[in-house]
Amino acid sequence: MHFGERIPGSRSTLSYWELNYGFLVEEVLKVLFGFLCLLEYDYTVLDSTKFTDWHKATHEAFLSIRVRDGEALFPVCADLTTSEAEFTEGIPSGSGFALADGAFDAKPVLNELASKGYIPMVKPGKVSPGGYGARIRDSLFEESAYRLRGVGEGIFGALTVEFGDRMKTRRKEASDTRVLLRITVYCLKILARWLYG
């Protein structure tokens, strides 16, 4: 009634909302990320994980995760893009180390991280991609700091334990919405702990 539309009786209500109103989940996530950006943190981890649907098709989710005290993990950006460069354009500005694996070792990614205030701590490849981001990374890279990346990856294990490793969806739109819903629920838990912890 709120949207002035009748949900067809031949489809499940959940499927209908996932297919037609997935954009609402994205808007809710933006608001949640805005609150989570206010929390203090020690460093940032950039990584991605893949979820499979009913047909075993994969859906990759990129996350920017901030870590505090080596145990509190909270995402501040999530995207279903397939490009590391496109993902880093959307992450919020920050400070401190930005830890990522070799997939993020590209000139536009390192430059974008440096321009947003981060110190790129990306695993270097055999050939430097060039640019000021790579120069900053090469001069400040610390293996001991880079090893902290595994802490941030714990969020993917939390999502899998909470929701399972396979989604019971068939269509891409529904699967993408379901991935974002998983991240939304996780963010709500973090905010509840922060507000009432």
pLDDT tens digits, 146-191:
999 999 988 988 888 888 888 888 888 888 998 999 999 999 998 8
Instruction: Show the beta-strand stretches assigned E in 28-177.
Output: 43-52, 58-68, 72-79, 97-100, 119-122
Q: Distance between CA 46 and CA 64 in Å, rounded?
A: 5
CATH 1.10.287 given to domain 13-18+41-196: no
Buried b (16+ CB within 10 A) or exposed e, 140-151: ebeeeebebbeb
For 29-40, write each residue's pLDDT tens digit: 999 999 999 999
With left for phi above 0 and alpha for psi between -120 and 50, is residue 56 left, alpha or beta? left
Instruction: Map out the domains of the chain as residue ranges.
Output: 13-18+41-196
Whether 66 and 36 have beta carbons less than 8 Å apart is answered as yes
Say if residue 53's pLDDT is above 60: yes
